Amino acid sequence: MGSLLPPLLCSLLVSTLFGTSHALDPPRKGLDGGWTAIEDLKDPHVREIAVSKHNKLEKTNLTLRKVEGGESQMVAGMNYRLVLEVLTVGGWTPIKNISDPDVGEIAEFAVAEHNHEASTNLTLCKVVKGDTQEVAGINYKLVLEAKDGGVGVVSEYEAVVWEKTWEHFRKLTSFELLETH
């Protein structure tokens, strides 16, 4: 699943002493108070701090792609301020209420988009279940029942839709037949 998603650029502040971590803010520019640029961004220690510490503290499941930039600050311990490219994997949460109109809208979108892409004639019957995952927006993974207009066969499909509401962006990333009833 991870490979389908675009990497995220984020900034992370980690303190080795206190185990604090503030993350996933958009990267900030500029140096202040005693920060020194990190020269070797491939340093395994920096890579280790970059994500594993954050995952542990915040119970996230990010995979580090690349450390884009970073600064460190000697305090009691060491502060790291890093700009990272990360991938999110796993972390699916079941949708509590699949009757939610937003979920129905995503399912309708998935079917319409699939009809458009694959020249099929499916009609949504119902959403069976679904999960969501946060990734620069929300990924919806829905199991849905749809009827083939031509032959009238009802089948179960799994559709994945990536949505960024604030950008009015929606994309069908996969649509697969699970089983035919």
If the CB atoms of residues 27 and 91 are measured against ligand NAG, the closer one turns out to be 91
If the CB atoms of residues 6 and 90 are measured against ligand NAG, the closer one turns out to be 90
Nearest to 174 by CA among 124, 126, 117, 123: 117
How many CA atoms within 13 Å lie on the side-chain side of 152? 0
Contact stretch for ligand NAG (CB under 6 A) within 18-26, 42-50, 98-106, 165-173: 98-106
How far apart are alpha carbons 32 and 141 in whole angstroms? 43
Least separation, in Å, of the C-beta of 48 and ligand NAG?
17
For the chain, the straight-line distance linking the first and the last C-alpha, in angstroms and rounded, comes to 26
If the CB atoms of residues 73 and 123 are measured against ligand NAG, the closer one turns out to be 123
Tell me the torsion sign for CA atoms 166, 172, 178, 181.
Answer: positive
99 binds ligand NAG (CB under 6 A): yes
Sorted by sequence, the CB contacts under 8 Å of residue 101 that are 6+ apart come out as none
List the one residue from 150, 166, 167, 168 that touches ligand NAG (CB under 6 A).
150
Site for ligand NAG in 106-125 (CB under 6 A): 121, 123
State the residue number with the nearest CB to ligand NAG.
Answer: 149
How far apart are alpha carbons 6 and 86 in whole angstroms? 9
Least separation, in Å, of the C-beta of 84 and ligand NAG?
17
| Token pair of 132 as six digits | 């969501």
Q: Which positions lie near ligand NAG, rule CB under 6 A?
A: 61, 89-91, 97, 99-101, 121, 123, 149-150
